[in-house]
Structures are given as C-alpha cells and as structure tokens.
Structure 1
Amino acid sequence: MQDPRELYDVRTAFDTVPTGLYLVAALTGFADAGSAVSQLNSYLLSTLEAQEIARFDSDALLDYRARRPIITFDQDHITDYRPAQLSLYLMRDELGQQFLLLTGYEPDFQWERFSSAVLDLVSLLRVRSTIWVHSIPMPVPHTRPIGVTVSGNREGLADAMSVWRPTTQAPATAMHLIEYRLQEVGASTIGFVLLVPHYLGDTEYPAAAIAGLESISSATGLIFPTDKLREEDREFVANIDEQVAGNAELERLVGALEQRHDAYMQDSPLKSPLTHLDGALPSADEIATELENFLAYRRRGDEDTPGR
C-alpha cells in the first residue's frame, strides 16, 4: 500500500492544531435519506467558524463520472469549475468549543488507504473520539421523533440512544470501515444511523439534519445553532400534515405507521420496525404516490403563485 499520508495535502500545520478534540465525520454518497448528511455539512460550514487543515486528493479517491464536477457557463464561456471536495476542518461550535470536522464525498476508490490516512490523522492529532453520522430510509412516521441505531465502542451511548439494534448484514460505507479499524486499535468511536421516514427519503427533510446534530451533541457536548433548521422543519411538517389531513388514504397509511412505531417503542413482541404484518404496513410507493404532487410543488416553491 502506498503511503496513506500522500492522500492529503496539509493546509494548516498540525502543530498549531489543538490535540484531544472530537472528530465529527459526515460523508455523502450512499443512502443519505432525507439529505441528512448533506444538510448537516452545509449547515455547519455556513454557520460556524471553519479552518481547513487537510484536503484529500480527489484524483485518487473520486470517480468523476459518477459524481461530476459542477461548472458555471456564462453565455459563451465557462467561468467556474467546482469539483467535489473532501477536507478536514478545525471548527468552533456556538460556545467556541473546538472540534474537527471531516466532510465531503465518500471515496469511490482506495478505501483501505483512505481508512489508514484517517487513522493516521486520529493518531497525530490525538483525537478524543470519532463520531460519524449516516441516514437510511425506514418505515416510520414523520409524526414521531427520528430514532437512531448506534454502533461503535461507547456502550453507554448505545444503551441510552439506540432504538433499533438488529443483527444483520448490510452494504458498508467508508465510515463503517473506519469505525471497524478504530475499534481494532482500541480508539474511541461511535456511529449514528438516522432512521428517516421512507416516504421522505428523497426530500431535504430538516428534521433529519436536526437529529444528526442532536446525536453529535449527545456524544460530544458540542452546541450547534439550529434555529434556522427548526423553523424550516416547522414549515415542512406543517405542509406535510396539511396534505395528510386532506386525504383519508394518507391518514390511514400514516396512522398505521404510527401504531407500529408506538407498539415497538413500548417493548412489543415486534422484532423491529421493519417486521411485516399483512395489510398493516404501507409501502413507500403507496405514501410517495399520494405525496408526489405536494412534494413536487414544494420543490418548485412559489414560482406559480399569482403575482410573483
């Protein structure tokens, strides 16, 4: 294996970076139900103080054909070229507490080398604990708090927060590999998988980003400004609820999800929120079909509103 340190360029001398900080990792590219990770990254970088420490080599890690760079075309010429970026930042939360943020795309190539590079950074910067966030679609209702599945070696947090604890096989992400390698060397790590309503998986669901930030806060004590996200979530949920209230079929489908969710959370015999009972569990397609027109309208915004 080539030297993992050659995968990134140092942008800020490591000897100027405080040691013993938390490392928060949020990589996009797989699943990202409700755009939880995308929103979380954008929100943190746009609202908090950030200083780039290291940037990874996209030519070595990224499949440009799968995730093409963005250009700006101005009438007859290109004015900007923006490739995807994967970087490590030194951040400050709302109270000025410092932490590290690994943010950007999930690598397409060289996972083992990338994992070794991240572990090397964890060692060099004497990271206190590595926390990462991911999101998947689940048959749960939007009228209940977003739950999480917790992994890693911080057992107290897993016992307190993990609402779904399956034994299963699933497609891995690069952060799964990093968590696995961190555990092998005895480093502290915890992962949060957000369980997002499956019928909202393809939307930008503000509650998913909020749940991600709250999970990180629970594991680190960091404080994040979420007022804007909460305002957006109130508007989003109000619109969804209005749509549901005006459609008896939607009310029935969401009600079935609520009953199953509540029964599971009350220690019912159900093995998981995914357990199927004939006729009781609405599919994503059933709900998505009912919400399709509403969500399409929301994406357009108010462009069709008279007088605008």
Structure 2
Amino acid sequence: MTDGNGFLSGRLLVVAFEGWNDAGEAATGAVRTLKELLDVEEVTSIDPEIYFDYQFNRPTISTDEDGRRVIEWPSAVMYGPAVPGSSGVPLAEDAQLRVSGTNAGNIYLLIGTEPSRSWKGFAAEILDSVLAADVSGIVFLGAMLADVPHTRPISIFVSSDSPEVRAELQVERSSYEGPVGILSVLAAAAETVGIPSLSIWASVPHYVHNAPSPKAMLALIDKLEEIIDVVIPRGDLVTDASEWETGIDALAAEDEEMAAYIGQLEQARDTVDSPEASGEAIAQEFEKYLRKRGDGRDGRADGRQGPGPEPRQP
C-alpha cells in the first residue's frame, strides 16, 4: 500500500505486445486474462495501415458468433474501466469471478502486436491516448526466452527508470544496453512526458519456445497482483501450469540429452537461488537474453517468427 501520491494512487495502464517481447505468449496471455475479468471497454485502437507490414504480421480470418467471416488486422487496442474508479466486487461472496481490490477500478489495458515501422509515431499516438485517459502510471509486461529449467519457479525481473517508483516499490533500475523492443520505446516516451513506468519480465525456458507457457503467465499475474494492489482470480491457470510442466517432464523422460541438459539448468538455477548467490543474477540473465535477441527476431511461441532453441551450453 502507498500514500495518495504514490505510483499506485492513480490510473494504471497494463501493457503487453505480441512478438519480440512475448515469449510463450506469457505477457499477452496475462493481459488477456485481465481483460476477461475486468469490466472494461475499448477506449481507442491504432489504425494498422501506418505501422504494420502485413507480410510480416498477417491479418487473420475467423467466423464470428453470427456466422460471418471476419478479418482481424494486427493493431493495438486500449481498454478502460466501464465505470472508472469503481472496485471490482466478486459476483458472489463464495466465487472470486472478478478482479477486486482498491485499484481494480483504476486499471486500463493496452494489448497489441509489435509494429513493423514508424515506432516513434506509434509511441506518440499511444501516449496521446494515455494522456487523454489521465493515466498516471504504466506497467509493462514482457517475457523472454532464457536458459532456465521448467521445473523451477519462473524467474521474474522487475525494474523502473523512475527514481520515485524504485524508491516506493523497492525495485531495481535495469543496466541493460543494447537492442530493444516496443516496450522500451514506449517506456522511454512515457518517462519523457512525465508518466512513470514499471517493467515486469518473466523468463521462459527456451527449449519449449514453440508452446504457450501458462506457468510464465501465472508468474506474471502473481507479481502484477502483488505490485498493483489487486486480487486477480487464477481460474484454470494453476492447473494449466501444472499440466504444462508435466507434459515437458514426459518429453524429457524420452530424450536423454534433453533430460541431461535440464539437469544442468536445474543445478545452475539452484546455485543462483542459494543464500550465497548475488542479487544481480536474474538481471544478468535478462541482459544476456536481450543481447542474444539482438538479431531482431522475436520470441513468439507460434513458430512463425520464433528464433528456435538457443545453443545448448556445454
């Protein structure tokens, strides 16, 4: 809990983008979960014609509830509370069916696809909408492919470029230097106009990059709930995360090389988690990942644009 002038005191925008920033679909999955649970409606959407290369981010077609064939274009959509400022009260006392807590009625969402071009203009258009909605703080969610084992808790790295946010929430400032995705561009633009931001990143095992990671999604939701002072129902996520881990265990049981490699990662992770380990370990893993991703390829889990497994460590 913070005082009336803190990061959590006003309207918060939670942001996730498909693509380079979204390994295992964990970040966008977390925001989509919030969208289903919150009473939100569309505030604005970005015209995709200016910012997307449709040969790179192709539109999709599906059938709607009325049986019509509908084309969905890559874009970014911002959602806001249908009744701003109202707390999300559970629909029944014995059923946590909605997000609740002191900040539940102040949460805005932005979800989209990382644009192909004109990032400065894209960021400016997004920030115009953020300022118009009187958003006072932004939380960026991301997920990276990393050399981590699926059998251990998902590593979470929280950082902020705002001295006030770092002091209030006791988080670090990232020391990373190198190529970035649209989240970093938006964060820099937000700081320029005086809107503080916070970034939450999850590490996803690179050897399962072709599948969504409910365990990483759950870890992001856990940390988000802790930071923004809300209670977020987990639904089937806990079960899905357990089944995801069990499925990978089964694959590893049939592949001696994979099992041996996972064992190496487990040993390394246990060393990092030991009381003697440095608190910089997760931050170093984050920076290592971003340097590897400097080739411009993303961490999508659908196999269309993903980077493939990282080289295994000796």
Q: Report if TM-score (shorter chain) is over 0.5.
A: yes
Work out which of the residue numbers 146, 155, 159 in structure 1 matches 2:166. 155
2:268 alignment partner, SS class: helix
Kept after mapping to 2: 8 A contact 1:36/1:206 = yes
In the alignment, structure 1 residue 71 sits paired with structure 2 residue 61: yes
Distance 1:156 1:247, change over 3 A: farther
1:176 alignment partner, SS class: helix
In the alignment, structure 1 residue 57 sits paired with structure 2 residue 47: yes
Q: Which residue identity lines up with residue 268 of structure 1 in the other structure?
A: A
Q: In the TM superposition, what whole-angstrom CA distance separates every residue of 1:63-109 from its partner, at most 9, and x where no partner exists? A: 11211111359xxxx93322223111014652272210011112222
Matches within 5 A, 1:1-308: 20-72=10-62, 79-91=69-81, 94-95=99-100, 97-98=104-105, 99-152=107-160, 153=162, 154-156=165-167, 159=170, 167-245=175-253, 247-266=255-274, 267-268=276-277, 272-273=284-285, 284=310
Moved more, 232-241 or 30-39: 30-39
Displacement of 1:284 in angstroms is 4.2
Structure-2 residue corresponding to 1:14: none
CA distance in 2, matches of 1:230, 1:59: 39
Equivalent pairs, count: 256
Q: Which residue identity lines up with residue 52 of structure 1 in the other structure?
A: E
Displacement of 1:136 in angstroms is 0.9
TM-score normalised by the chain length of structure 2: 0.71
CA distance in 2, matches of 1:217, 1:112: 31
2:126 alignment partner, SS class: helix
Moved more, 204-213 or 216-225: 216-225
Structure 1: stretches of 5+ with no match in the other structure: 1-18, 276-282, 288-308
Displacement of 1:40 in angstroms is 2.3
Taking CA–CA contacts closer than 8 Å with sequence separation of 6 or more, which of the two structures ends up with the larger relative contact order? Answer: 2
Kept after mapping to 2: 8 A contact 1:199/1:285 = no
CA distance in 2, matches of 1:108, 1:178: 15
Kept after mapping to 1: 8 A contact 2:149/2:265 = yes
Q: Which residue identity lines up with residue 80 of structure 2 in the other structure?
A: L
Q: How big is the alpha-carbon RMSD for the aligned residues of Structure 1 and Structure 2? A: 3.0
TM-score normalised by the chain length of structure 1: 0.72
Identity over aligned pairs, percent: 25
If you compute each CA radius of gyration, which structure gives the higher value, 1 or 2? 1
Displacement of 1:35 in angstroms is 1.5
